[in-house]
């Protein structure tokens, strides 16, 4: 009994990409899901500093809620200061969404 070959849409289950700003590095893992975005295990609303949370929402707002609702993104970030971490996370999330939907 043979399995049917996967099509291009079924082949991509997840992508893992990184973003950098100065010495901060963020690694984003994007897979099919329900629209959750977690940074170091915390939801997006818990990310500090709160003033820069809008910067993290920019890729999601550009993509649109309906397309983002189909994926879950987990981000690990370390190194650098708070602002550099925010920009590294934003770059990683953007690259993850582009990679996930492009392939």
- What's the CATH code of the domain at 67? 3.30.230.10
Q: Has residue 71 been placed in a domain?
A: yes
Is the residue at 13 inside a domain? Answer: no
Q: Note whether residue 16 is domain-resident.
A: no
Q: What's the pLDDT tens digit per position in 65-83? A: 888 898 999 999 999 999 9
Residue 10 is assigned to a structural domain of this protein: no
Domains held by the chain: number = 1
Residue 30 lies in a domain: yes
- SS3 for 82? helix
* 48-71 per-position pLDDT tens digit: 888 899 999 999 899 888 888 989
User: Structural domain of residue 79, as residue ranges?
Assistant: 24-102
| Core vs surface per residue 2-34: b (16+ CB within 10 A) or e | eeeeeeeeeebeebebbbebeebbbbbbbeeee
**Would you state the pLDDT for residue 10?**
54
The answer to whether position 7 is within a domain reads: no
């Amino acid at each position: 009994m043979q399995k049917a070959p996967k099509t291009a849409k079924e082949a991509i289950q997840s992508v893992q990409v990184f973003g950098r700003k100065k010495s901060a590095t963020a690694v984003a893992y994007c897979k099919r899901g329900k629209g959750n975005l977690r940074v170091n295990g915390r939801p997006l609303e818990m990310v500090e500093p709160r003033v820069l949370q809008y910067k993290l929402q920019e890729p999601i707002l550009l993509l649109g809620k309906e397309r983002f609702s189909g994926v879950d993104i987990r981000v690990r970030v370390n190194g650098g200061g708070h602002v550099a971490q925010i920009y590294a996370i934003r770059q990683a999330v953007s690259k993850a969404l582009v990679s996930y939907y492009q392939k």
